[in-house]
Amino acid sequence: MKIKRKKFVITIDGPASSGKSTTAKMLAKKLNCIYIDSGSMYRAVALYLKDNSIDLENENALKEVLYEINIEILYKPEKNENAIFLNGKDVSTKIRNSEITNYSSIIAKKKIIRERMVELQRKMAETQSIIMDGRDIGTVVFPDADFKFFLKASIDERAKRRFLEMKDKSASSETESRFSRVWRMDNISLGKIKKDLKWRDRTDSNREISPLKMANDAIEIDTTNLTIEEQTQKILDILKYEITL
């Protein structure tokens, strides 16, 4: 499948675990273009700031750091997914733990950090078609995007997805036995995931700069009762007049 336009930008925004990145990934495969999960960039910055104990209130230090950080996103065809490199090191797994997840929402409030991320994100679309997902992609990064989508899902469904995703990831990691024991022992983890998601929803929606919100011209899709295939198909159906098979 190919979009008829020479070069295009598709944005997918929405709250955490609404299915944005998986949908973006599947769509990119169908449409033969790249996808960027912009959240991974904020996560990589969060990891760097945490590992190097950078004080978030020290604007000068932040400014310096932002130009020291090199973020690279490389496509892994064998897995059909992107890997993220921070100063040459693959941090794809490390940036997904809950400490970095929550810290990414805190650092994402900082104007100076957002400005740098937006600059990098816009650069990525200069020479190629792109599908990018995040919180402010349709509103701030690409306000003139060709197609904009906003995915939402109930908090229970999102918590369940995140729970299963984490369980899946931990099962394939070296620490499998330790993690699987915790998962089986109690249900508190699901409650904690829900609490963290609600906190992130609040933090992302209420921040001063580029809060999470739907662009006026975005199409909203509720994914609560949809599978990834169904939600991807829904978007393809909307794009069908723009696509050549």
Residues engaged in binding ligand C5P (CB under 6 A): 16, 38-39, 42-43, 104-105, 108, 134-137, 200, 204
Residue 4's alpha-carbon distances to 17, 33, 81, 129, 241, in angstroms, are 30, 13, 24, 12, 9
- Cα(220)–Cα(149) distance, rounded to whole angstroms? 6
CA dist 113 and 59 (Å) reads 10
- For residue 139, the minimal CB distance to ligand C5P (Å) is 10
Indicate the residue among 168 and 237 with the shorter CB distance to ligand C5P: 168
Strands 81-86 and 71-76: antiparallel
Q: Contact at 8 Å (CB) between 21 and 230?
A: no
Q: How far apart are CA 3 and CA 14, in angstroms?
A: 23
Nearest residue (CB) to ligand C5P, 37 versus 129: 37
What lies within 8 Å, CB to CB, of 231 at 6+ separation is 19, 23, 151, 221, 223
To ligand C5P, the closest distance from the beta carbon of 198 in angstroms equals 12
C-alpha angle 121-26-219 in degrees, rounded to nearest 5: 70
Closer of 116 and 135 to ligand C5P (Cβ):
135
CB of 162 to ligand C5P, least distance (A): 9
With respect to ligand C5P, which residue has the nearer C-beta, 19 or 134? 134
Min. distance of Cβ 144 from ligand C5P in angstroms? 17
Smallest separation, CB 243 to ligand C5P (Å)? 26
Q: Which is nearer to ligand C5P, 120 or 243 (CB)?
A: 120
